Amino acid sequence: ARKAALSASTGPGATADGHKVPLLANVGGPADVPAAVEAGAEGVGLFRTEFLFLDDSKNAPTEEKQVEAYRQVLEAFPEGRVVVRVLDAGADKPLDFLTPADEPNPALGVRGLRSLLDHPDVLRTQLTALAKAAEGLPVYLEVMAPMVADRADAKAFADACREAGLRAKFGAMVEIPSAALRARSILQEVEFLSLGTNDLAQYTFAADRQVGAVSRLQDPWQPALLDLVALSAEAARAEGKSCGVCGEAASDPLLACVLTGLGVTSLSMGAASIPYVRATLAKFTLAQCERAAAAARASDSAEEARSAARAVLSGE
Ligand code: PEP
Ligand code: MG
């Protein structure tokens, strides 16, 4: 019965009073597209392009191979948005030709945008391949960089996009606390923000996302993390730009309501979560989401934040 009720719930993401929150899918490549379409995703909010590079850690894939893979994903959402993240190598995803072998703390080392700025040829090839893949398609392409720390990073990325002749919106992921704290400054260089709450939690709490012993600190309901989400969303609103979430946090239906209440403008998640998030969001008004968000932020722990939000939304 639950399944039937969920499949009846289709259409764009919105609160009960019609405040739109596009529900997008996280994909790792063309193989994930059918599930995203089936779940009614309004586009792709995070295309993790690493998959193309992980087959061969010694060489980057050719431009032609990249064009082919990007085109398959772009063609699946002819009217929708597709947000492509450039290669996020390093840390848990090392590549021999990009990642220094001897880093004492790989998560704090040359990863994400940092490795691409050290290897401009790899970034250029990827951006050129994206430009070619989008040619002639009506899709609304957005391209974003992982691990942006400051305005200089955002500018270097936007410059590389312009130099590659990419006709798209350029954005920055907010995964490092400095980027959330200085979001307005970063928004002087790019057109949108996307919160990667997995890494943002890791770096806010100094808790390695791969270490189970510190998983308590990876809980996206932590009020400190919600504060950084709110700062980023408020900065984007002040600049008239968008701020989505593409980390795991977006796939928790109750937290999705809280994120909406914090001012986040879109939610991207694994396709399987979309029907649950859509159904939950549709039950509450934006004002209720805002009250739940305020209650969560007024809490002192993740557990307290979760129950405070639940109490507001269940009318207790
Ligand atoms: C994140 O860090 O939240 C994110 C979306 O990127 P990834 O999980 O691929 O690091
Ligand atoms: Mg990340």
Q: What is the pLDDT of residues 105-151, one digit of tens each?
A: 999 999 999 999 999 999 999 999 999 999 998 888 999 999 999 99
The per-residue pLDDT for range 171-227, each reduced to its tens digit, is: 999 999 999 999 999 999 999 999 999 999 999 999 999 999 999 999 999 999 999
Complex ipTM more than 0.90, yes or no: yes
Catalytic one of 161, 246, 257, 289: 246
Residues 6+ apart with CB under 8 A from 196: 146, 173, 174, 175, 246, 247
- Residue in the structure block whose two tokens are 């957005």: 142
289 annotated active-site: no
pLDDT higher than threshold 80 for residue 6: no
Ligand in closest contact with the CA of 197: 1
Residue 255 has pLDDT above 80, yes or no: yes
- 162 and 141 in contact (C-beta within 8 Å)? no
What ligand 1 atom has the least distance to the C-alpha of 246?
5
Rounded CA gap, 119 and 98, in Å?
7
Q: For residue 178, with 0-12 CB atoms within 10 Å meaning exposed, 13-18 middle and 19 or more buried, which class applies?
A: middle
Atom of ligand 1 nearest to the CA of 46: 5
Binding region for phosphoenolpyruvate: 48, 85, 198-199, 209
pLDDT at 47 over 70: yes
Angle between helix 151-163 and helix 120-134 axes, rounded to 10 deg = 60
The full 3-state SS of 217-283, as one line of letters, equals: HHCCCCHHHHHHHHHHHHHHHHCCCEEEECCHHHHCHHHHHHHHHCCCCEEEECHHHHHHHHHHHCC
Q: Whose CA is nearest to atom 9 of ligand 1?
A: 48
> Residue 266: pLDDT above 70?
yes
Which class for 250: exposed (0-12), middle (13-18), buried (19 or more C-beta within 10 A)? Answer: buried
Question: Which atom of ligand 1 is nearest to 198's Cα?
Answer: 3
Q: Tell the residue nearest (CA) to atom 3 of ligand 1.
A: 196
For the segment 9-15, the average pLDDT, to the nearest whole number, is 89
Binding site: what residues are annotated?
Answer: 48, 85, 175, 198-199, 209
Question: pTM of the entire structure?
Answer: 0.95
Residue 62 is classified by DSSP as P
| CA–CA distance, 290 with 309 (Å, rounded to integer) | 10
258: nearest Cα among 314, 194, 305, 303:
305
Ligand 1 pocket (Cβ < 6 Å) reads 46, 48, 88, 175, 196-199, 246-247
Considering Cα of 301, then 305, then 308, then 314, what sign does the dihedral take?
negative
